[in-house]
């Protein structure tokens, strides 16, 4: 791979030496070095909340705010492979002909919760894919059908909780996932990727199923991959997806996504990985748990075994359940977090949980008000947009070497063909006047910038080049994206 390092000089007016030193503040671009990971895109999940959006008065406007050209321009939508599509052994009904008309919305109270979720997901999936056909659909199975599992029953709330998939039903579950793909394909909707388990190390009180990395590796290697090949299902297979990115929470009997994926790949060195995606969730344990602060953290690190095999790594779920905060401080926190996952963990995609919901926490990008039909775009929505709107799919991340910048400022950079994109997070209270320079590449035309602050959302401006490059102003407490062309 080629690595490209972006270079700027950060100055006041013209490119002057840093106060107290002899060198310029700079980020240096070298076009003859290997590049980093390829960007597959950015997305949101609506699994678990498809019913809320299905029933929302202005639901189409919300989808536009997530996937539309004036919104986040997301290209990944995550849903659920429900266990309720099969309640009797080896008989499936994926509800692809279910009534999702306005009459159903008007009489939603007559439907059981899971039935409403399935209809909501069908509407959301078909509507989004047809309006925004470039959207990549991915679905995770929170649990196999109950009849395939230990216990084999649903809870009074109709959840298929806990337990394990019985080994004698591994083939049945592989067939189930292939049949799910083909059901949507039969109505003209292709699915990009399927995951056999959401959070396989966590026995959650909702739909859930516990897997060890040995069990999951055996299932994928010997059942799911061969079944997809036999049934001509082209979908990629996502695995990992545990709540914490890298920390093993022994007290909670959890394994991290990093350990799960690394151990699985080590155990199966001969498994073909060309259609696999390693994945994890980016949750941090809440302060309410009686654990030292350092144990609640989950360092943002690469998945080493996946990288050895040149597999993409995705964040397929990230948010937090702290009290609702729509401020720029929250936006800056998440902008910095996105930067770390892209630069430290080398991820190729980030999928937020959830896209839109009625909530009093920080779980969603968009907050729905069911009573009024209005919705609120949070500042984490805005900050996410500084990445999602301007980094082209298929870009490669490029390393940048900085000098003279405050330590708190983070710079993430990408290149595709002759276009480069740079996201700069300035959480300080100071404006930083700077000059952007390209080394070993010629400047080509104007530089476009898009700035988010407490008062602005992606405010655009154009910058012409001077002798020293592009003169920039990084506003206090801002996220700014720069898009330019190289000769």
Region 96-125: what's the mean pLDDT?
A: 93
Tens digit of each residue's pLDDT (9 = 90 or more) over 359-395: 999 999 999 999 999 999 999 999 999 999 999 999 9
Q: d(Cα 173, Cα 47) in Å, to the nearest integer?
A: 20
Region 438-444: what's the mean pLDDT?
A: 73
pTM for the complete prediction?
Answer: 0.93
| pLDDT(228) > 80 | yes
pLDDT band at 430 (very low <50, low <70, confident <90, very high): very high
Q: d(Cα 399, Cα 5) in Å, to the nearest integer?
A: 5
Tens digit of each residue's pLDDT (9 = 90 or more) over 126-147: 999 999 999 999 999 999 999 9
pLDDT at 402: 77
pLDDT band at 20 (very low <50, low <70, confident <90, very high): very low
The per-residue pLDDT of the chain, averaged, comes to: 89
Q: Lowest mean pLDDT: which of 244-253, 346-355, 415-424?
A: 244-253
> Domains in the chain and their CATH numbers?
8-28+397-486 (2.60.40.1180), 41-390 (3.20.20.80)
Cβ pair 75, 136 in contact under 8 A? yes
Region 69-80: what's the mean pLDDT?
A: 98
Cβ pair 267, 219 in contact under 8 A? no
- Closest to 391 in 3D by CA, of 42, 129, 31, 156: 42
| pLDDT(179) > 50 | yes
* Token duo for residue 335: 């902008």
pLDDT band at 79 (very low <50, low <70, confident <90, very high): very high
pLDDT at 6: 38
Region 411-431: what's the mean pLDDT?
A: 94
Q: d(Cα 210, Cα 167) in Å, to the nearest integer?
A: 13
Q: d(Cα 288, Cα 155) in Å, to the nearest integer?
A: 28
Tens digit of each residue's pLDDT (9 = 90 or more) over 229-273: 999 999 999 999 999 999 765 555 678 999 999 999 999 999 999
pLDDT at 253: 64
């Amino acid at each position: 791979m080629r690595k490209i390092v972006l270079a700027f000089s950060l100055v006041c007016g013209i490119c002057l030496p840093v106060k107290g030193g002899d060198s310029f503040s700079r980020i240096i671009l070298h076009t003859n070095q290997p590049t980093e990971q390829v960007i597959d895109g950015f997305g949101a999940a609506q699994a678990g909340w498809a019913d809320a959006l299905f029933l929302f008065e202005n639901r189409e406007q919300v989808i536009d705010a997530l996937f539309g050209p004036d919104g986040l321009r997301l290209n990944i939508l995550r849903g659920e492979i429900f266990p309720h599509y099969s309640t009797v052994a080896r008989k499936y009904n994926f509800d692809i002909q279910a009534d999702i008309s306005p009459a159903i919305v008007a009489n939603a109270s007559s439907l059981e919760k899971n039935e409403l979720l399935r209809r909501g997901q069908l509407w959301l999936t078909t509507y989004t894919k047809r309006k925004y056909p470039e959207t990549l659909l991915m679905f995770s199975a929170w649990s196999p059908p109950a009849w395939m599992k230990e216990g084999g029953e649903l809870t009074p709330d109709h959840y298929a909780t806990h337990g394990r998939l019985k080994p004698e039903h591994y083939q049945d579950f592989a067939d189930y996932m292939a049949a799910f793909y083909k059901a949507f394909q039969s109505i003209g909707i292709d699915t990009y990727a399927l995951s056999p388990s959401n959070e396989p190390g966590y026995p959650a009180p909702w739909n859930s199923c516990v897997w060890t990395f040995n069990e999951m590796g055996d299932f994928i290697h010997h059942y799911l991959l061969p079944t997809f090949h036999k049934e001509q299902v082209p979908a990629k297979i996502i695995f990992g997806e545990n709540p914490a990115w890298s920390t093993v929470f022994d007290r909670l009997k959890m394994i991290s996504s990093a350990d799960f994926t690394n151990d699985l790949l080590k155990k199966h060195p001969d498994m073909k990985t060309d259609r696999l995606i390693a994945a994890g969730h980016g949750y941090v344990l809440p302060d309410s748990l009686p654990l030292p602060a350092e144990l609640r953290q989950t360092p943002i690190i690469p998945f080493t075994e996946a990288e050895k095999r040149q597999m993409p790594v995705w964040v397929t779920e990230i948010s937090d359940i702290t009290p609702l905060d729509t401020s720029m401080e929250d936006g800056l926190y998440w902008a910095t977090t996105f930067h770390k996952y892209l630069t430290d963990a080398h991820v190729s995609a980030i999928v937020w949980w959830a896209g839109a919901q009625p909530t009093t926490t920080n779980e969603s990008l968009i907050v729905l008000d069911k009573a009024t039909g209005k919705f609120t775009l949070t500042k984490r929505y805005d900050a996410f947009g500084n990445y999602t709107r301007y980094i082209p799919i298929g870009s490669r991340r490029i390393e940048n070497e900085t000098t003279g910048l405050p330590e708190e400022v983070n710079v993430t950079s990408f290149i595709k063909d002759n276009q480069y994109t740079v996201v700069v997070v300035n959480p300080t209270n100071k404006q930083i006047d700077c000059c952007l320079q390209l080394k070993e590449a010629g400047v080509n035309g104007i530089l476009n910038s898009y700035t988010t602050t407490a008062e602005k959302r992606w405010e655009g401006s154009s910058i012409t080049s001077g002798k020293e490059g592009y003169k920039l102003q990084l506003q206090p407490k801002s996220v700014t994206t720069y898009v330019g062309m190289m000769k």
